[in-house]
Chains A and B, each alone.
Chain A
């Protein structure tokens, strides 16, 4: 029971922190003061902040408990400052959200019911798939909590590693799970498979809703139609482990599953919006945040982002707008950094040796 209670608290805390970080981001970068957007981009910015913080400490083998205490203090102070300094902005965001609910009342109930039903379905019925992947993936935070070090033990054999795994060490959200579990006593399986699963499901519903709203062009019936059309196709495609739709249900807590169901559709949506309003620099920031933030979840984003950007280069070029090309260059730059870092690690140029 205490684990369940902790899980609920953790879920609420995550959303609250994402929202507050998102509020600060939207204020600083002059993005739209929209609660749902702030939740999504706040999650990515939070991931980036943790990435910057934890990476050097991980290499120095600082104990997880120490990393956790410092991080908790930092985040608490940050959130407090955001609440104090941006209280009017937050109030405005909440007011707009409530107004939006009243305005979109035809959609709110079916979408909310679907969201709750979908989350409960996943949490109650989606059991652990049979395969090494689960050990490989969930084993990182589990071993982090056990050994009080991040990514230094092989997840399957339990043997101490000599090098950080190149394809994994940049995915710092796994480290975040270890830190949270070490700090709160929440079991890794609960944090990842219940809390993160629920958070990522909620995020993907938000993205699909945003897509639906875009296609619906502000019309409630059209948006609702688009929302259920999208989910219908997505659910029809769950029957293959090779498609992201499968991951959206059964393994959405995994980095690759998460990046394919949250940031990738978001990137598609941003490309559409950019095309319509190239003068809005906010989309450039949003795309940059999405790309970098997603990299901290899975390197799947690292190798897929350049190809996505390449594929949609003609789409940007046909608009013949320099501002769109600038946005594309920024996106290529962000994703390119990770490709280079991965390649250097693979070639041994970046030293990933664990110095005990």
Chain B
């Protein structure tokens, strides 16, 4: 859904969106959505005036009013609805349409037919619950800070990783004032949960997205932010290992606005970091350092 719209002028944006949406659907979703078209056709042909207009005509109006390339372009350009456009598809009453059709069948049939319908709905319900479980525990789509490896209960009532809570406790204990913001260096993975759990830990790097820096250029231009990034991301390619010293790191951090570092233990320069700054403690996969 979040692709770059600039490469899709005019009507092509709408079709590209549909293509992206379609490829993000699971087979069950594709089946149900295609089936809904049959529900609408059935309601249109066999339904009474109320059903025809509620399911059939309203869908046509929606298509004319917003679900078409021209209006899509207008809504994206004029109203800034690019990332929100898919929500217009939510206005189609899919679950209600299926339920209505099932009820029509239920009312139409006598005892045996109704028993069959009950069996059908029970089977469908079990299948749908299976879909729910699969999506929750076994799909990357819904992974949290830790990738999905099965039906794992949330680690705590805050629903963030224990490591995140541990790190925040260490930083807050060191700072002594939870209401004061602390410039903290952390990764993208950590960013997502810490910004909601403890917003006092504000990121040194926006969104935890680190740019790629060339080591030699950083050294020659005294690009301290770049040097810090190389140390933190653990970049080794194109890096002269002999120059990666504690002094260089201290120099870099002295020139960057940063108070704490949440360092993954897997960092290749872990020892240099540890020897350069005060270690406040460890929390799971991370070590917390105090820079100043």
Contact = CB atoms under 8 A, between A and B. Distances in A.
A243 B29 contact: yes
B144 A135 contact: no
A242 B21 contact: yes
Residue in A126, A135, A194, A212 whose Cβ sees the most chain B Cβ within 10 Å: A135
B58 A193 contact: no
A158 B199 contact: yes
Residue in A155, A225, A226 whose Cβ sees the most chain B Cβ within 10 Å: A225
Given A230-B95, A238-B135, A250 B142 contact: yes
B103 A237 contact: no
A127 B196 contact: no
Interface in A227-245: 228-245
B121 A237 contact: no
B210 interface: no
B117 to A, nearest CB: 7
Contacts of A142: 195-199
Contact of B90 (A4, A125, A304, A313): A304
A129 B142 contact: yes
A227 B32 CA distance: 17
Nearest to A245: B95
A245 to B, nearest CB: 8
Question: At the interface, is chain B mostly helix, strand, loop or mixed?
Answer: helix
Interface stretch (A27-35, A184-192, A280-288, A327-335): A184-192
A123 B156 CA distance: 11
Contact of B131 (A226, A239, A260): A239
Contact of B199 (A146, A242, A250): A146
A27 to B, nearest CB: 30
Contact of B95 (A216, A237, A318): A237
Contact of B102 (A229, A239, A245): A229
Contacts of A241: 1, 24, 141
Interface string B39-51: 0000000000110
A190 B157 contact: yes
Interface residues of A, number: 83
A127 B145 CA distance: 9
B53 A318 contact: yes
Contact of A233 (B1, B59, B99, B151): B99
Question: At the interface, is chain A mostly helix, strand, loop or mixed?
Answer: helix
Nearest to A143: B199
Nearest to A343: B79
19 contacts: A125-B151, A125-B152, A129-B143, A130-B192, A134-B192, A135-B192, A135-B196, A146-B200, A187-B157, A189-B159, A222-B107, A234-B95, A235-B131, A238-B132, A239-B25, A239-B26, A241-B1, A265-B95, A268-B96
Interface of B: 1, 21, 24-26, 28-29, 32-33, 49-50, 53-54, 57-59, 61-62, 65-66, 79-81, 84, 86-91, 93-96, 98-100, 102-103, 106-107, 117-118, 121-122, 124-125, 127-129, 131-132, 135-137, 139, 141-145, 151-154, 157-160, 179, 181, 191-193, 195-200, 202-203, 206-207
Given A241-B1, A311-B58, A311-B61, 15 more contacts: A127-B159, A143-B199, A156-B195, A159-B202, A216-B103, A231-B128, A235-B125, A235-B132, A236-B128, A238-B132, A242-B89, A314-B57, A314-B61, A315-B54, A318-B53
User: Which 3 A-B pairs give the minimum distances between C-beta atoms?
Assistant: A239-B26, A158-B202, A235-B128
